[in-house]
Amino acid sequence: MTKPRNSAQSWRLLWLIPVAVLAALSIVATGSSSSDDPGDDDVDPPLNILPTYNFFMANLTGNNPFTVSVASAYTVTVDIDGLFPGSVNLDADVNNIVTFLSYIVRSSARVDLTLTSTDPSPLDGTFAVIVTEDINAMVYGEPVSGAFEVVTPTETVSVSILADSIQLTLNGGAPVVYNTWEEFTNLFDDELQEAWQRRAALGAGAIGFVVEQFFSMADIFDELEAVTFASPVVEVCDMFTGTPPEGVLAQGEIVVTWLGSGELSDGDDFSWQFNQCWDADSNELIDGMVSLENYTETIDAITGILFEIGFGGLSGQPGGVVYDMTISDTVENQGIFTIPPEGVMTIDGGFALIIQSP
């Protein structure tokens, strides 16, 4: 072996630092380009929306967890572990109006749920919901396949979503089978059922709720540019078909406000103000606000392919979808609508939301 002839040769080792940096940067720089700096292009190509995208959700930065309180009876806090990954199939028409069709929640997605009840409950505490096998579902539909685990310090509940049933096992024991998804998720409200099954049902409901919120927000992306042309945009809601609940408007409205200027661009914010907005289909009354903060969009400058869109970022950037709203069930009796106390749900906090090309 040729030994270093003098100490000066040892200084060569320092060159390894820039070599390593150059290597890492040259690998990363082969990632896809963005439209953030489209150079001298004067003409934007037509927007090209792909049929499949990946999506990711993450916690908001700061101490602002996604929290749902139901009828003052219990509160569920959703803590997303890292990124909550999935993919979605969609259809975009000639005007680039997008319809989300089906989705997959990828295995490894994990949320930690903390349940706090007003009256002590065997379900109280923190547990993890971990997707162990890709969950496939139609958007706003029930899952058709996949598996997840609900894990506490003392028990692991495995839930398999099969073609004709839902199968639960506790710590690898004998399976308990439910024939329908609804039958399974309804376990949560049945206090006569065993706690581990109710916890599994809550885990399923939480994942479903998180994904539903994701799509309800993602659904408005194709409207954002139109909002910038006529901000604020006011939409009237359904009118009560009888006497509204006490203190509630007969017909509420939604006010969408763009808080940017010039053209829609990265970093812009929107507010989605629901002013006693009643939806006749779901019989729900929505009141409050959803803030959409730190818009981000990346379009390939040459092909026009939408690479990325969302609010917030994947690596702890500020922004996201921030809720401060109440959703109340309404019940009609002889033309008079009321809000039962157990039908009031408040949502606070939120999540970052990013949709990316595969």
Partner 1 sequence: MLVPTRQHRPEIGMLFLATLLLATGIMVYALDRAGAVYFLSDWTTAPTGTAIFGPLGDHVPTFLHPLVFILITAAVLRPWPRLLPAICAAWFAIECLFELGQMAPFDAHIAAALPSWFDSVPVLRITADYFTRGTYDPLDILSIGLGTVMAYPIVRAFLRGE
Binding residues vs partner 1 (CB under 8 A): 1-5, 9, 12-13, 15-16, 19, 23-34, 37, 39-41, 54, 56, 58, 61, 82-83, 85, 106-108, 300-303, 307-308, 313-318, 356-358
Please provide the DSSP assignment of 82-113 as one string: S-EEEEEEEEE-TT--EEEEEEEEPTT-EEEE
As a whole number of angstroms, the distance between CA 133 and CA 210 comes to 18
Nearer to partner 1, 17 or 192 (CB): 17
Q: Do the beta carbons of residue 8 and residue 271 sit within 8 Å?
A: no
Q: Do the beta carbons of residue 61 and residue 321 sit within 8 Å?
A: no
Q: Do the beta carbons of residue 114 and residue 186 sit within 8 Å?
A: no
Given the DSSP bridges, would you call strands 344-356 and 66-70 parallel, antiparallel or unpaired?
Answer: antiparallel
Which two three-digit tokens encode residue 65?
A: 């967890």
As a whole number of angstroms, the distance between CA 109 and CA 131 comes to 5
Which two three-digit tokens encode residue 3?
A: 């030994």
Nearer to partner 1, 43 or 163 (CB): 43
Instruction: Please report how close the Cβ of residue 13 comes to partner 1 at its closest, in angstroms.
Output: 8
Nearer to partner 1, 37 or 281 (CB): 37
Nearer to partner 1, 219 or 300 (CB): 300
Beta pairing partners, 331 = 338
Q: Do the beta carbons of residue 196 and residue 107 sit within 8 Å?
A: no
Instruction: Please report how close the Cβ of residue 68 comes to partner 1 at its closest, in angstroms.
Output: 23
Which two three-digit tokens encode residue 169?
A: 């096992």
SS3 207: helix
Instruction: Please report how close the Cβ of residue 304 comes to partner 1 at its closest, in angstroms.
Output: 12
Instruction: Please report how close the Cβ of residue 21 comes to partner 1 at its closest, in angstroms.
Output: 10
Nearer to partner 1, 43 or 94 (CB): 43
Instruction: Please report how close the Cβ of residue 143 comes to partner 1 at its closest, in angstroms.
Output: 19
Instruction: Please report how close the Cβ of residue 216 comes to partner 1 at its closest, in angstroms.
Output: 22
Instruction: Please report how close the Cβ of residue 354 comes to partner 1 at its closest, in angstroms.
Output: 9
Instruction: Please report how close the Cβ of residue 47 comes to partner 1 at its closest, in angstroms.
Output: 17
Q: Do the beta carbons of residue 299 and residue 309 sit within 8 Å?
A: no
The Cα angle at residue 144 between residues 152 and 348, in degrees rounded to 5: 55
Beta pairing partners, 98 = 92
Nearer to partner 1, 41 or 189 (CB): 41
Nearer to partner 1, 195 or 305 (CB): 305
Nearer to partner 1, 107 or 228 (CB): 107
